[in-house]
Amino acid sequence: MTAPMSSQGANQGRTQVGIIGAGPAGLMLAHLLQRAGIDCVLLESRSRFHVENRLRAAVLEHDLATLLRQVGLGERMDRVGIPQEGIRLHAAPDHAWRIDLAAHTGRTAMLWGQYELVRDLIAARLDAGAPLLFNVDAVRLDDLDTHRPRINYRHDGEVFTLDCDFIAGCDGFNGICRAALPSERLAMHQHAWPFSWFGILTEADPAWPELVYGGHPDGFALASMRPPGLTRFFFQCDPDEDVHSWSTDRIWQTLHRRLDAGGTSLGEGHIIQRSIIPLRSAVTETMQHGRLYLLGDAAHLLPPTGAKGLNVAVHDAVHFATAVRAWYAQADFGPMARFSEERIEAIWNAQRFCASMTRLLHRMPGEDSFGYRLRLAEIAYLAENRFAARSFAESYVGSANEEMLEAYLRP
């Protein structure tokens, strides 16, 4: 596809919403705006292959799975995705609990790989003939506090400009958009956790039909899955660990020790991919400057223990699309003006949940036997006390978003 242009001149284009970054936030925003008849151009710095094969997240909240069905993205998810009616908590080798998400909330989570969602969104956009440019680098944003903010980008060695009504910065944590906010308007609250995750993808059938979160005295571990028949494991490791210094035997020994419980042992298989993932939390306040809005990881990071990063990114997109619609349909700027404040409140709630799960299940450096027994008592209380389990289940499957989704879906 060639770069969008208009009569304004060679290498100069115009759109209503310029979107930088084709991750879940940017792609979902483009999909929702397109459905509402609002014109947008999506610019992505990486190749289509790269974006469609990034492993990343997998757990979708109940409402987001519902939304995907309602906006024409549910068919493959319902055929191939794995609904999660419960999750398991292990404190191997003696303790294994299950939290029944469906019984506590009447709702379920959906295990649907982020790359699958991204593939469906890209296919829908390209099938509709809507502009989505890969291998393009947004390099500079201009005139953000005017009515005509502009994106300057490079494509095939040439420089282009795109005039917009609004710019959505969906370019992840290392993109250019957050840096375009004036530093005096920006507060960054961030925390680097003192451990990382070692992640592998393996050709092994999952031993458990549901996600297993392990809180072992040695440290955290997690068994997840990717259909068909792949298992995704993670375990806590030191932050300065080298992925190559772990032999295959040592990886499996660590996983067995931290996850096997209740007489069940995880299945081993050929390891297709291995990586080390640092755990970081961050919240950017504010998420807006002039006509630039930050969405998804561009504005916040959550430790993956609570499985909220993808969900929060897609909620940002739904919320922003609703606000943009109100602007074009009713000239009502209220929702745009409230976007940052409303999202930041929701993001801190997601941070609360992810941080509490991270503290509960990971071994802090220097933890003694008292510290571990206290964590074990907390894990047991969470799993066995029905009020605690219900509160956990509500946060995990997602709550309090129904009104917003209804507002979006209302014609």
Q: Going residue by residue from 149 to 188, which x/- string records binding to ligand RFL, judged by CB under 6 A?
A: ---------------------xxx--xx------------
Residues 16, 14: Cα–Cα separation, whole Å = 7
Contact pick of 22, 27, 57, 347 for ligand PHB (by CB under 6 A): 57
Least CB distance to ligand PHB at residue 319 (A): 23
- What is the DSSP secondary structure assignment for residue 2, as one 8-state letter? P
Asked if 24 interacts with ligand RFL (CB under 6 A), we say: yes
Mask for 27-66, x = binds ligand RFL (CB under 6 A): ----------------xxxx----x----xxxx-------
360's CB contacts (< 8 A; 6+ apart) are 215, 375, 378, 379, 382
170 binds, among ligand PHB, ligand RFL, none (CB under 5 to 8 A by kind): ligand RFL
Asked if 68 and 310 count as a contact pair (C-beta separation under 8 A), the reply is no
Residue 172 binding target from ligand RFL, ligand PHB, none, CB below 5 to 8 Å by type:
ligand RFL
How far is the C-alpha of 221 from the C-alpha of 257, rounded, in Å?
10
Tokens of 116: 């699958």
CB environment 324-340: b (16+ within 10 A), e (fewer): bbbbbeeeeeebbeebb
The Cβ of residue 71 has, within 10 Å, a number of other Cβ atoms equal to: 18
- Show contacts with ligand RFL in window 301-330 (CB under 6 A): 304, 307-311, 313
Residues 109-128 that bind ligand RFL (CB under 6 A): 114
Say whether residue 25 binds ligand RFL (CB under 6 A): yes
User: Which one of 20-28, 89-97, 281-289, 370-378 is the stretch in contact with ligand RFL (CB under 6 A)?
Assistant: 20-28
Residue type, 148: R
Provide the token pair at 62.
């109940």
Considering only residues 214-253, where is the footprint of ligand PHB by CB under 6 A? 222, 224, 232
- Could you say whether residue 22 binds ligand RFL (CB under 6 A)? yes
The stretch near ligand PHB (CB under 6 A) out of 34-42, 286-294, 304-312, 359-367 is 304-312
59 near ligand PHB, rule: CB under 6 A:
yes
To the nearest 10°, report the CA torsion of 31, 34, 38, 40: 70
Q: How many CB atoms lie within 10 A of CB 250?
A: 10
Pick from 146, 179, 139, 187: nearest CA to 165 = 146
Task: Show the DSSP H helices in 16-144 as ranges.
Answer: 24-35, 48-52, 62-70, 75-80, 101-105, 114-127
Write down the least CB distance from residue 282 to ligand RFL, Å: 11
**Which residues make up the interface to ligand PHB (CB under 6 A)?**
57-59, 211, 222, 224, 232, 304-305, 307
Contact set with ligand RFL (CB under 6 A): 20-26, 43-46, 51, 56-59, 114, 137-138, 170-172, 175-176, 199, 277, 296-297, 304, 307-311, 313
